[in-house]
Amino acid sequence: MEQRGRRCPICRGTIPPSREQISAIKLNQLMMKNVDKSDPRYEQCARKVKEFEAEYGEDWESTVIKYDDDCVSLPSYVVEAAKGGNFQTALQWLGKGNIKDRVNAKSESFGNAGLLITAALTKQYDLMTFLLLNGADVNIMNSSGTSALASICQIEGNLLTAIKLLLSWGAEFFVMGRRATSQEMKQLVVNVAVANLILSELGGRRCKIVSTLNTRDDLVGKMCVVGQHIKKSGQYEVTVEFTNESLLLGAGNLERYDRTPQDPGYFVECKNNRLIRRDFKSNEECRAFIASLGAHEGGFVEVDPEAEAKAEQAAADLLAELGLDDLEDASSNAPKKGARSAPPAGKKKKRGGKKKGRK
């Protein structure tokens, strides 16, 4: 096959494919293996692979640049486990290195998808929150430059809760590496209820109530989650945090106030590879609890040696079942240079803040 890729103006050699291109082509190759040849998607993927090989050659893998940086790669077995609902394997992997780096790790074999989009697709809402609390980028993009929000908005199915969760954390609709226009969103979003949310200014967002239409001054300063936009009145259906009171307010009564790791409104922690959600009576109580943890030092994962051993065995069994035990690089789970490792067995990881219940 004649190679017609772009050439370097200095040495005239073919410019190797980028990381994003490699990830995208591997995803197409994986799709071809998993769908029947009669499936229209097979022909589409085959065409993309053929075009890629025409540009970079059939031996393109030998020309790939080896990047030496601190980027963490998400192992295939972790993605496979999470897709199957086994998020304990993901939690165990997160706890074996610097969680601040690992929450944004991407899997090259799955189109540079990360754990956040995987958790959203499998409706693991507590895992989504846990990742975001530990610094996951809510706008993390795959190999095609599509953000997590844009990815799940284009999928048929009941993913409204996951979409609302992302919106409340400040997610934006990115396609091809840029913010999508309203017209593009109308064309891409398949669900009417989802379209109502993302096409309105504040739909799905977490907001602060700055004024009210009546004498309810007690609500000023309270946080709420915005729901459906009512076009006739121009108002939004909102639900006040902690009390679940429902109101109708206009955009002028609200100020966007995205959730952050320091101000999430609720909390999800990991103990013995299990996620535990903690709700509060007020936003002040939630913030005080977060501050007491010293959340900025070391993350929230605590690794139990016995639970870790069980999770490692489960991961090994999964690899064998998938036939990936010979393919998965054992060193891919090793912490990168400079990353903080999980504490040795029998020792607990120290956190920056004092233990719960102390002052």
Q: What is the mean pLDDT of the chain?
A: 79
pLDDT at 50 over 60: yes
Rg over CA atoms, the chain: 23
Closest alpha carbon to 79 in 101, 109, 100, 104 = 109
Residue 293 carries which side chain, given as an amino acid letter?
L
Of the candidates 247, 251, 250, 268, the one whose C-alpha atom is nearest the C-alpha of residue 259 is 268
Q: pLDDT at position 176, please?
A: 84
pLDDT for 232-291, tens place per residue?
Answer: 999 999 999 999 999 999 999 999 999 999 999 999 999 988 999 999 999 999 999 999
In 257-330 the beta strands, taken as DSSP E runs, fall at 267-271, 274-278, 301-302
Residue ranges of the domains in the chain?
Answer: 1-66
CA distance 276 to 193: 30
Task: Count Cβ atoms within 10 A of the Cβ of residue 57 and give its class: 0-12 exposed, 13-18 middle, 19 or more buried.
Answer: middle
pLDDT in tens, 118-174: 999 999 999 999 999 999 999 999 888 899 999 999 988 889 999 999 999 999 999
Quickly list DSSP for 91-116: HHHHTTS-HHHHTT-EEGGGTTEEHH
Between CA 165 and CA 295 the distance in angstroms is 21
User: Roughly what angle, to the nearest 10 degrees, separates helices 76-83 and 305-322?
Assistant: 90
List CB contacts of 87: < 8 A, sequence separation 6 or more: 81, 119, 122, 124, 127, 275
